[in-house]
Structure 1
Amino acid sequence: MAVKDTLLALLVVVIWGVNFVIIKLGLHGMPPFLLGGLRFLLVAIPAVFFIPAPKIPLKWLALYALTISFLQFAFLFCAINLGMPTGIASLVLQSQVFFTIILGTVFLAEKIKIIQILGTLIAAAGMVVLAEGGMTNRLSAMPPVGLLLTLTAGLCWAFGNITNKVIMTTAPKTPILSLVVWSALIPVLPFLLCSWIFEGQAVMVSSLVNIKVPTVLSLIYLAFISTIIGYGLWGTLLSRYETWRVTPFALLVPVVGLTSAALILGEQLNGSQLIGVAVIMLGLIINVFGGRLMRRKTARCPPV
């Protein structure tokens, strides 16, 4: 990968890692469903007037939008709003890697390898350690429901990945930015409807009338920087290089997420949580790089 593209990949990692802190700051002045609705409204408008619509069936566009945009961020925003530490959320959300592998075997008949099973089991053990370590009264304490909601967000992201795989298989020339922008129109109504039902009309009106500068800046970051710029750069890199060259950079997102949460929000990890984080990262690394390392070892040591 060229140096310039490597720097672009690292820029996306930083953008997405800091994203979790930005969500937390945005939730200080606006409830989660309303924040989600306005985020995707800004992603879609005015971009849909300049970017052509993707030439794919509406059912796939809707399924992609409802899983990777609406459900994923509805659960994630609610988890953080309920007290899920943002740094840990950035790591737990990477459970989407393992959920995607499992769903791929179920819906796409993809073959799962032993090394992927091993990585998944190790990461699952890390999740257990992390959950046990989070039941404290420290800054790093996390409510069990927050962990459950974040895992559910990871599962929804995985369903979105499978939908994206189907879209790119049936319509391989679909521009990723076109998919992101036009799919952003769909979750706006469900978000606002959920806000109306669960957060209340009075809260919605009050949040909009009394909106603060930090909330506005959070919405701008979430819509334009994290979504349009982040996904645009990521899609460009995936179009230039093999997926195995690009996707491992995503492993650095939790590192940036944990670091930014510690520096900006003062979140701290206790000993048990540090162990859990390390075990989860080990599982992710084995899952991404394990097969490649095994193939290299086999190539270097051919059977006698």
Structure 2
Amino acid sequence: MRTRHFLLAVALTALWGFNFVVMEVGLRSFPPLLYVALRFLLAAFPAVLLVGGPGVPWRKVLVAGATLGIGQYALLLTGMRAGMPAGLTSLVVQVQAVFTAVLAVALLRERLTRRRITGMAVAFAGLALIAADLGTGGPIGAFLLVVGAAFFWSAGNIAVRDAAPPDSFRFMVWVCGVAAIPMTALSLLVEGIPRLEFSVEGGLSVLYVSLVATLGGFGIWGFLLQRYDASVVAPTALLVPVFGMSSAALFTGEPISPAELAAAALIISGVLYASTRARPLPSSASAPSVQAETGENRTRATEMI
């Protein structure tokens, strides 16, 4: 991954890490399914009236909306409402990187290089260290809901990679649009007509998750998935719990233990290693393999456009 794209991915993970604290605040004002519906309604309208069509077949928009939108966030917010704290949620949901790598190999025939596997192993050692330091956290049902959300996130990664939209922002607007209507119906069916008490915190929370984390965040995520293998992009999301735990400590006063600091170092170093290529040996014997690799990368880039 190029340096500027890697830095963009890191900035995105900071936005998404803080997003868990914002969602926890929003759930004080809204039930989870309604919160998801409001998120996508605000992200989609009136933008869908201004951006034009999605630029890809509608079936691919529907698949992305069902996975990234309905599946991921319905389970994620329900799990948080059921007892999973923001920091632990930001950790558990990162199992999506493993799901994505497996689905990419199975469905897209991508290759997992030894370097990527090693980097992901180091990063997941950091996640395991955080998990051991935090303990079990919330109830098992809420935990399983968040794991389910991680699976739908990984399926959404594959859907976006397969769609390869020419304009990732426009594509995500329509993904939000196709997710908003069924989520609204699901909220009314399951949660009924809610009694809402407007609060500034709740309103700002919906604005952040819809405009910053959803439109801006997944627009950037789709941009990266267009240019790199899903198994390269997905491990960068392992930085999300680092920023999630830091945000929780800063804004809610949750302490950060020495074990969590050590885990953050493992995660960052693992992601850096997995997301960069090894430099070829400067010898004449290595020239043919370097040239072949360059040709392969050029062909792959052409297929993505």
Same fold flag (TM > 0.5) = yes
Q: Per-residue CA shift, 1:211-262, capped at 9, x if unaligned?
A: 32211111111111222233445656788xx649x95865543322211111
**Aligned partner (choices 226, 231, 236) of residue 213 of structure 2:** 226
- 5 Å-filtered alignment, 1:207-222, equals 207=196, 210-222=197-209
Aligned residue in 2 for 1:299? 281
- My pick for the range that moved more, 21-30 or 90-99, is 90-99
Q: Per-residue CA shift, 1:19-40, capped at 9, x if unaligned?
A: 1111010001111111001110
- 5 Å-filtered alignment, 1:95-174, equals 95-122=95-122, 127-135=127-135, 141-168=137-164, 174=166
Aligned residue in 1 for 2:195? 206
Question: Residues 70, 303 of structure 1: CA spacing in aligned structure 2 closer, same or farther, 3 A cutoff?
Answer: same
Once residues 265 and 140 of structure 2 are traced to their aligned partners in structure 1, the CA distance between those partners, rounded to angstroms, is: 20
- The amino acid that maps onto 1:78 is T
- Report the 3-state secondary structure (helix = DSSP H, G, I; strand = E; otherwise coil) of the residue aligned with 1:206: coil
Aligned residue in 2 for 1:176? 168
- My pick for the range that moved more, 249-258 or 275-284, is 275-284
Residues 44 and 181 in structure 1, CA contact (< 8 A), matched pair in contact too: yes
Q: Per-residue CA shift, 1:148-199, capped at 9, x if unaligned?
A: 322222221111111111111xxx5x2101110011122223322332343x
Q: Per-residue CA shift, 1:93-134, capped at 9, x if unaligned?
A: 232222211101111122222333444455555555544443
Once residues 206 and 75 of structure 1 are traced to their aligned partners in structure 2, the CA distance between those partners, rounded to angstroms, is: 22
Question: Residues 238, 125 of structure 1: CA spacing in aligned structure 2 closer, same or farther, 3 A cutoff?
Answer: closer
Q: Per-residue CA shift, 1:49-101, capped at 9, x if unaligned?
A: 10111132221111111101111111211222223222232233232222211
- My pick for the range that moved more, 95-104 or 156-165, is 95-104
Aligned residue in 1 for 2:181? 189
- The amino acid that maps onto 1:258 is M
If the length of structure 2 is used for normalisation, what is the TM-score?
0.77
1:260 and 2:271 correspond: no
- Report the 3-state secondary structure (helix = DSSP H, G, I; strand = E; otherwise coil) of the residue aligned with 1:205: coil
RMSD: 3.4
- Report the 3-state secondary structure (helix = DSSP H, G, I; strand = E; otherwise coil) of the residue aligned with 2:195: helix
Q: Report how far residue 299 of structure 1 moved.
A: 1.6
- The amino acid that maps onto 2:163 is I
Question: Residues 148, 117 of structure 1: CA spacing in aligned structure 2 closer, same or farther, 3 A cutoff?
Answer: farther
Once residues 16 and 166 of structure 1 are traced to their aligned partners in structure 2, the CA distance between those partners, rounded to angstroms, is: 23
Aligned residue in 1 for 2:275? 288
Once residues 123 and 45 of structure 2 are traced to their aligned partners in structure 1, the CA distance between those partners, rounded to angstroms, is: 39
Aligned residue in 1 for 2:303? none
Question: Residues 82, 108 of structure 1: CA spacing in aligned structure 2 closer, same or farther, 3 A cutoff?
Answer: same
Unpaired segments of 5 or more residues in structure 1? none
- My pick for the range that moved more, 101-110 or 118-127, is 118-127
If the length of structure 1 is used for normalisation, what is the TM-score?
0.77
Percentage of pairs with the same residue: 33
Aligned residue in 1 for 2:290? none
Question: Residues 274, 190 of structure 1: CA spacing in aligned structure 2 closer, same or farther, 3 A cutoff?
Answer: farther
Once residues 85 and 273 of structure 2 are traced to their aligned partners in structure 1, the CA distance between those partners, rounded to angstroms, is: 25
Residues 22 and 222 in structure 1, CA contact (< 8 A), matched pair in contact too: yes
Unpaired segments of 5 or more residues in structure 2? 287-305
Residues 131 and 147 in structure 1, CA contact (< 8 A), matched pair in contact too: no
